[in-house]
Amino acid sequence: MIYWIGIAAVATMAAAGVLEAGTKRFDLAGMVFVALAAALGGGTLRDLLLARPVFWVADQTYLIAALLAAMATFFVARALVLPLGLFLIPDALGLALFTITGTKAAMVWGAPWLVASLMGVITGVVGGILRDVLCNEEPLVFRGQLYATAAWGGALLYLAAPHLGFGPETSALLAGSAILLVRLAAIRFDLGLPRFRAKAG
């Protein structure tokens, strides 16, 4: 199941990349480049840090899924009038899916639990950071609403759930749903951590 969650995560983040890049009126090549960075960037950094084969190089199905999702989203978005912030929905879903797959990949590779949870966060957020930077936007993870915090909480829940008696599939579903719901609530109600404000001297 984790393998197919990973495929879904790649496709979802690629779609989110195209939807955000569409606001910049990039051409098809530019949109696909942004989509690939969003879909593959986080997992690539995770694998490099863990010194394991890069996932989309070892299995090109991920790359194919990202390309197909990017192309499909590009042509659908050209034919329909879509809200400007629509990319936030697939981005939230991709965050949830990637965090679970990233945490699992690190666990399988033998990483300690804290490292595994942070690898889940890296997998979930780095692609979005690359997408936002390429689109000349302030990355979502730095805008104040719960983003990386939601991913980290979900990763820790995923690691803890088996010790509470949940099976692997239930643990993944529970943790992924928690990340998605927290992220959507943060978008809807502008939930975030305290921000730093320097006092005037």
131/39 Cα distance (integer angstroms): 9
Instruction: Decide if pLDDT at 121 tops 70.
Output: yes
What radius of gyration do the chain's Cα atoms show?
A: 17
Instruction: Decide if pLDDT at 201 tops 70.
Output: no
Q: Write down the pLDDT at residue 80.
A: 81
Q: Write down the pLDDT at residue 109.
A: 95
Q: Write down the pLDDT at residue 197.
A: 78
Closest CA to 101 of 77, 115, 120, 80: 120
What is the three-class DSSP state of 128?
Answer: helix
Alpha-helical segments (H) within 109-147: 113-134
Q: 10-30 b/e with 16+ CB inside 10 Å = b?
A: bbbbbbbbbbbbbeeebeeee
Instruction: Decide if pLDDT at 92 tops 90.
Output: yes
> How many of the other CB atoms lie within 10 Å of CB of 77?
18
- pLDDT above 90 covers a percentage of the chain that reads 82
155/147 Cα distance (integer angstroms): 12
Residue-wise pLDDT tens digits, 65-86: 999 999 999 999 888 877 878 8
Q: Write down the pLDDT at residue 62.
A: 97
User: 37 burial class (0-12, 13-18, 19+ CB within 10 angstroms)?
Assistant: buried
103/3 Cα distance (integer angstroms): 13
